[in-house]
A and B are shown apart, each in its own frame.
Chain A
């Protein structure tokens, strides 16, 4: 059965670090599910079925965490002993906060744009680009994780969470636009 005390990287036999080879990750995820998924134990005893469900759930959780650059950063910080409540902590970086406000205003003005659909797609890709930029910055800090660097990583994560929330809101606006277009 699965060793539940292993960290997610060990589970997939991947080196602990921010940069993850997504192809290997996906491949190993499938390999693990091939042997642990409840479908493999449909005829097994109750005990085995129970263990299989628990293991497969952990594998799914680990995969979700490592796949997503924001969840991965949070998880790595935890592994380094930095507990973060990224949803409620907020950055003090004024420049960043100003940019955020500008993005938010753009989002609110979308329904008034001549082509709101076009505008929301442009906004979404702008948010995506900012997240990608932060992902690149994040990677550097985990290469040699000193205390200062971890603190810097934490600050980036706070910003990522901001952008993630905005992204979710942009998706909601997009969904609403589509409903009207249809």
Chain B
């Protein structure tokens, strides 16, 4: 029997068209972009050969500077030069006050709890600041690869909560990037390292960056990277080392704690320089300019430095022990501990980590670049460039998800270190006769009191059919996807009515806010919002067509009978004929129609994958 002609002449896609993809390490202090070229993953330099891009954005009237140019202005223009946006992203104004009262920015008080910073170019949110960094890195990749990126993998600290992940994804959206996956930084490092060294067994990844700390315990097994447990602190990093040194200098030099922003920045820089010097030498001298123009000079021994930072390192070791316990492994079972992140250059960190694990930590790969390299490898696979690759990453949720119950207590729904994706359903009932709405508060954290956990969102279930109290059975499903992002759906069981949900993210941006930002940013770029939406829809149509064509070529003959093939082909033609239409709604409707008509085929294919995976295993082989 002849194969039905499914592609119009000249429209057939090459079977494995190479798609451009990149991995981005969006760091607190520095960011990098990497990509796989001729089978090798490597970080990409800028025009001047520099791989690192300082995560600093300077706002001026009419222009935005990113990277080294912005960093240079940090002390002269501290209020308009935003560094460490990663420390602020996805957090509330209240959080920020407790975690860094010394942040030299002017925060805008406003109704939404997501913070905004005042600059000469207007108020900006940490999401927008991060988007500026992402844009520069994506542009670097596109210039190097000479083409448009089809997607990116962006790394986040494993210990980032849902709000911080969502905010990072929003930043990517704002930068116009298609996110293939948010990847946990230690997992990315494990990929780069594991594939490079062909490692197997239990490994610990100790990742101390500029502003975040992660510890992940992974089991590597024939290309499967299975995270057993993760822990950390999303507000602890090399910046804090600089800060304790800055405080020490202030004390020694008699500088008041209410020194101005420029002075604080200078002290942080002096602290950072001393830290770096002491990674090589046993002592260093520090010199700072005081406000009155005079100088203060002093010396610092490495042993004194060690005493200053030991309390911070101790915090990381406590997290390591907890992760080991959660993973159910002993120190002896850990084959190697891999050091990642610029702050692991501090000798004292290596020494203490070595003591805990009873082994010399591994520093085989550049701790600054290894995360971006791992992200690039996964991006290449997710983009579809390596269809036969066996690599599989199984990651976990870092903090438990729970609901607020009576008396401000949390009820755990998903325990920390549960493998994602995960879905949990919970049944609720009404409290009063005729009640048609109810409020649900979702929190993240491992403490018993709601007030000790992060508030993620408040959901309102509406349109519950009126019934007597306790009769309604509302089944709410909480799903965490592979990016660690939460979605919620609800259905009233007895009537089958879908309750509608209104999400109010506690710290994140609402869809409307993102919409507004997108409009604003596009307005700047002189682009029409509608044109952009249309293009997105066209790209999705292409994706659907391409996927279906590839499927038909692969197994259409085998899985479909002639009638079904005709049906699929005609549905495909239906979409093709409007794929370039200039109305978004038309394309959208055509995609929906096609999915409806071909849904059975998609399910049949997935089912077949399962059967193939399980073939050879029969229940009776045990009997």
Q: Interface of A with B (CB < 8 Å)?
A: 1-3, 10, 12-15, 21, 24, 28, 30-39, 42-48, 51-58, 60-61, 63-64, 171, 174-175, 178-179, 182
Chain A residues lying within 8 Å of B623, measured Cβ to Cβ, are 15
Contact with A along B303-342 (1 / 0, CB 8 A): 0000000000010011001100100000000000000000
- Could you write out 5 A-B pairs with CB less than 8 Å apart? A15-B619, A21-B622, A24-B617, A46-B595, A60-B422
- B482–A37 touching, CB < 8 Å: yes
A-B contacts besides A43-B547, A58-B423, 14 pairs, CB < 8 Å: A1-B607, A15-B619, A15-B622, A34-B224, A43-B384, A43-B543, A45-B547, A45-B595, A56-B421, A60-B418, A60-B421, A64-B418, A174-B325, A178-B318
In the complex, chain A residues whose CB is within 8 Å of the CB of B318: 178-179, 182
Quick check: B547 and A57 within 8 Å, CB to CB? no
Residues of A contacting B394 in the complex (Cβ-Cβ under 8 angstroms): 33, 37
Q: B479 — which chain A residues lie within 8 A by C-beta? A: 53, 57
Interface size of B in residues (CB-CB distance below 8 Å): 52
Decide if A46 touches B540 in the complex (CB within 8 Å). yes
Are B392 and A13 interface neighbours, CB within 8 A?
no
Contact present for A1 and B603 (CB under 8 Å): yes
Q: How far is the CA of A15 from the CA of B314 in the complex (A)?
A: 48
Contact assessment for B614 and A32 in the assembled complex, using a CB-CB cutoff below 8 Å: yes
Q: Is the C-beta of B383 less than 8 angstroms from some C-beta in chain A?
A: yes
Q: Bound complex: CA of A30 vs CA of B419, how far in Å?
A: 12
Complex: chain A residue closest to B609, CB-CB: A35
Asked if B602 and A171 sit within 8 Å, CB to CB, the answer is no
Answer whether residue B466 sits at the interface, using C-beta atoms and an 8 A cutoff.
no
Q: Write the nearest CB–CB distance from A176 to chain B, whole angstroms.
A: 11
Asked if B617 contacts A28 (CB within 8 A), the reply is yes
Closest 4 CB pairs of A and B: A1-B606, A42-B382, A35-B609, A13-B617
Query: Is the pair B602, A48 in contact by a Cβ cutoff of 8 Å?
Result: yes
**Which of the residues A31, A64, A171, A178 comes within 8 Å of B613, measured between beta carbons?**
A31
Q: Which residues of A contact B381 (CB under 8 A)?
A: 39
**Listed residue (B19, B181, B547) with the most chain A CB atoms within 10 angstroms of its CB:** B547
Contact A36 B606 (CB under 8 A): yes
Neighbour of B610 across the interface among A21, A32, A48, A171, CB < 8 A: A32
* Total A-B residue contacts, Cβ distance less than 8 Å: 129
User: In the assembled complex, how far is the CB of residue B254 from the closest CB belonging to chain A, in whole angstroms?
Assistant: 33
Q: Are A43 and B383 in contact (CB under 8 A)?
A: yes
Whether the pair B181, A30 counts as a contact (CB closer than 8 A) is no
Listed residue (A13, A33, A37, A45) with the most chain B CB atoms within 10 angstroms of its CB: A45
Q: Which of A28, A33, A57, A174 contacts B423 (CB 8 A)?
A: A57
Q: When chains A and B are docked, how far (Å) is the Cα of A54 from the Cα of B482? A: 11
B482 contacts A47, CB within 8 Å?
A: no
Q: Does B612 contact A (CB under 8 A)?
A: yes
Query: Given known contacts A13-B617, A35-B612, A182-B318, is B418 in contact with A47 (CB within 8 Å)?
Result: no
Cβ proximity bits B480-496 to A, threshold 8 Å, 1 near / 0 not: 01100000000000000
Provide the bound-state CA to CA distance between A45 and B550, in Å: 12
Residues of A within 8 A of B383 (CB): 42-43
Confirm or deny: B151 has a beta carbon within 8 angstroms of a beta carbon on chain A.
Answer: yes
Q: How far is the CA of A177 from the CA of B79 in the complex (A)?
A: 44
Interface code B567-608, partner A: CB below 8 Å = 1, 0 otherwise? 000000000000000000000000100010001001100110
B193 to chain A, nearest CB (A): 19
List A contacts of B181 (CB < 8 A).
39, 42
How far, in whole Å, are A175 and B416 apart by their CA atoms in the complex?
15
In the complex, which residue of chain A has the Cβ closest to the Cβ of B394?
A33
> Complex: how many Å from CA A47 to CA B612?
21
Query: From residue B396, how far is it (CB to closest CB) to chain A in Å?
Result: 10
Q: Is the CB of B392 within 8 A of A2?
A: no
Whether A38 contacts B606 by the Cβ 8 Å rule is: no
Cβ–Cβ < 8 Å partners of A182 in chain B: 314, 317-318, 321
Tell whether B544 is near chain A: CB-to-CB under 8 Å: yes
Verify if B221 is at the interface (C-beta below 8 Å from A). Answer: yes
- A30 contacts B221, CB within 8 Å? yes
A39 to B381, CA, bound (A): 9
B199 within 8 A of A: no
- Tell me the bound Cα distance from A179 to B591 in angstroms: 56
- B614 neighbours in A (Cβ, 8 Å): 12-13, 28, 31-32
**For the complex, is B180 an interface residue (Cβ under 8 Å from A)?**
yes
Given contacts A15-B623, A48-B606, A174-B325, contact A64 B419 (CB under 8 A): yes
- Residues of B within 8 Å of A53, CB to CB, are 421, 479, 481-482
With A37-B482, A54-B423 as given contacts, are A32 and B613 in contact (CB-CB < 8 Å)? yes
Smallest CB gap from A47: residue in B: B595
> Are A42 and B602 closer than 8 Å at their CB atoms?
no
> Within 8 Å of chain A (Cβ to Cβ): is B618?
yes
Chain A proximity of B9: nearest CB distance (Å):
24
Q: Does B390 contact A (CB under 8 A)?
A: yes
Which A residues are CB-close (under 8 A) to B419? 60, 63-64
On chain B, the residues within 8 Å of A10 by CB distance are: 619
How far, in angstroms, from A51 to B423 measured CA to CA in the complex?
13
A39 to B153, CA, bound (A): 11
Q: Smallest Cβ distance from A113 to chain B, in angstroms?
A: 19
Question: How distant is B228 from chain A, measured CB to nearest CB, in Å?
Answer: 12
Q: Is B393 an interface residue (CB 8 A)?
A: yes
Task: Select A47's contact among B325, B420, B599, B609, beta carbons within 8 Å.
Answer: B599
